[in-house]
Amino acid sequence: MIVLLLGSGGREHALAASIARSPLLTKLIAAPGNPGIAQHAELRPVAADDVAGVVALAKAEKVDLVVVGPEAPLVAGVVDALAEAGIKAFGPSAAAARLEGSKAFTKELCERRGIPTAAFRRCRTAEEGHAAVEAFGAPVVVKADGLAAGKGVVVATTLQEAHAAVDHVFGGDLGAAGAEAVIEEFMDGEEASLFALCDGTTALLFGDAQDHKRAFDGDEGPNTGGMGAYSPAPVLSHALIERAMAEIVRPTVAAMKEDGTPFVGFLYAGLMVGPDGPRLVEYNVRFGDPEAQVVLPRLKDDLLELMVAAVDGRLAGRKPAFRPETALAVVLAAKGYPGAYRKGSEIRGIEAAEKRPHVTVFHAGTAIENGRLVAAGGRVLAVTATGADASEAQMNAYSAVDLIDWPEGFCRRDIGWRAAAASEEG
């Protein structure tokens, strides 16, 4: 099979590494890709969200399957455009991608189906938003309806903060994402993520993980795309996972099918595990980043074969198998991230890091300039290591991180602290 992978982050490097292992693969192409992905694929300079460009590329290269990494092309309808051109794609249609693209859409689906999630109000004006904030009281969560690259959610501890967040949503800075707001009840608990592989009808458990969203040690500082992750998530017992699949994921996939917008692809459920069990925080319609870098290295099965089965609606009765070990990823980011940061600084030592046992270095924001590997983004690398438990995986990962010579970068030193403490307790 000729496969075209869309995207250029660490998640896509992990997808590329897994797809490259498949005996079904004859050629992997990535657009636009990155230097890490280039170890497994031929790169083409087409932006992942350039829908017309992607369709033209897929036709020209006689691609058998397009695998979509990030959400933007999905929400923009790349899967629909490819389908019209007769090309198979792994990922949801634009209508199904509303599970991530519109928070109001998802909240209303949950309400109709009795899926456990925070109480909410959909607000079309700032006035409605302010009234909803008063009705809930603090703490309260204020969200822009649409995709806002992680900048659309404020967990407000005071009413003043919440009112300011409402003004921000409707202030115009967020563009179309701020046309509406969702005001939510604050949920207390521990966050964890569950992944499902979906074929429109069947949703199969595809691993679980926890990530660290804050920039600095101790889970302090600004929110980021994710500074590290580990899989499995100790907080998710088998019983909790089964409940989340039965009460949240499977009813969602059933609802999408009944509504004529079946969901195909990876469904990523962000969960809050509280005293009453798991509740949905949000859906993403793609794999997580850096969660892919810890879940996929544990997969025993052929990822490409499973993706083809998903696209063809043949997942019933399957059960993807994962190794019981823990995988843990430490993200190296450019100093200043998630704020302003510089590009172009040289990175050395990746080969030495990858010689450590059980270690893979995934590229996110890197580029080759004059034969040197340089930083080209905010999150730049994810160093993944496996181990018998979280403590061992953490030790393996940091021993590799310490071999990477990149003074302009930083990482957290405590990724997996909660899981490592749990594994040390036995």
Closest separation between CB of residue 302 and ligand AMP, Å?
31
Contact 8, 32 (CB under 8 A): yes
When binding is defined by CB under 6 A, the residue of 191, 217, 219, 325 that contacts ligand AMP is 191
* All residues at 6 or more sequence positions from 418 whose CB lies less than 8 Å from its CB, including other chains: 210, 234, 235
* All residues at 6 or more sequence positions from 316 whose CB lies less than 8 Å from its CB, including other chains: 199, 201, 202
23 φψ region: left (φ > 0), alpha (ψ -120 to 50), beta (else): alpha
* All residues at 6 or more sequence positions from 86 whose CB lies less than 8 Å from its CB, including other chains: none
Contact 100, 283 (CB under 8 A): yes
Piece of the chain touching ligand AMP by CB under 6 A; list 122-130, 185-193, 313-321, 372-380: 185-193
Contact 240, 277 (CB under 8 A): yes
User: Is residue 216 involved in binding ligand AMP (CB under 6 A)?
Assistant: no
Closest separation between CB of residue 117 and ligand AMP, Å?
8
* Partner in contact with 282, chosen from ligand GLY, ligand AMP, none, beta carbon below 5 to 8 Å by kind: ligand AMP
Closest separation between CB of residue 100 and ligand AMP, Å?
9
* Partner in contact with 184, chosen from ligand AMP, ligand GLY, none, beta carbon below 5 to 8 Å by kind: ligand AMP
Mask for 217-256, x = binds ligand GLY (CB under 6 A): --------xx------------------------------
Contact 256, 285 (CB under 8 A): no
C-beta of 142 vs 420, nearer to ligand AMP? 142
CA distance 159 to 138: 5
* Partner in contact with 199, chosen from ligand GLY, ligand AMP, none, beta carbon below 5 to 8 Å by kind: none
Residue 340: DSSP 8-state: -
Contact 343, 379 (CB under 8 A): no
Pairing mode, strands 153-156 and 140-144: antiparallel
C-beta of 101 vs 288, nearer to ligand GLY? 288
CA distance 264 to 199: 5
Mask for 113-142, x = binds ligand AMP (CB under 6 A): -----x----------------------x-
User: Is residue 291 involved in binding ligand AMP (CB under 6 A)?
Assistant: no
User: Is residue 180 involved in binding ligand AMP (CB under 6 A)?
Assistant: no
Where in 259-288 is the site for ligand GLY (CB under 6 A)? 284, 288
C-beta of 289 vs 392, nearer to ligand GLY? 289
* Partner in contact with 141, chosen from ligand AMP, ligand GLY, none, beta carbon below 5 to 8 Å by kind: ligand AMP
When binding is defined by CB under 6 A, the residue of 12, 180, 247, 289 that contacts ligand GLY is 289
When binding is defined by CB under 6 A, the residue of 94, 104, 165, 187 that contacts ligand AMP is 187
CA distance 167 to 392: 46
C-beta of 128 vs 191, nearer to ligand AMP? 191
C-beta of 35 vs 270, nearer to ligand AMP? 270
Pairing mode, strands 220-223 and 359-363: unpaired
Pairing mode, strands 153-156 and 409-410: unpaired
When binding is defined by CB under 6 A, the residue of 25, 87, 147, 153 that contacts ligand AMP is 153
Give the DSSP letter string of 368-424. Answer: EETTEEEE-SSEEEEEEEEESSHHHHHHHHHHHHTT-B-TTEE--S-TTHHHHHHHH
Which residue has tokens 């490592």? 420
Interface with ligand AMP (CB under 6 A): 118, 141, 143, 153, 155, 184, 186-187, 191, 270, 281-282
Q: Which residues bind ligand GLY (CB under 6 A)?
A: 211, 225-226, 284, 288-289, 291
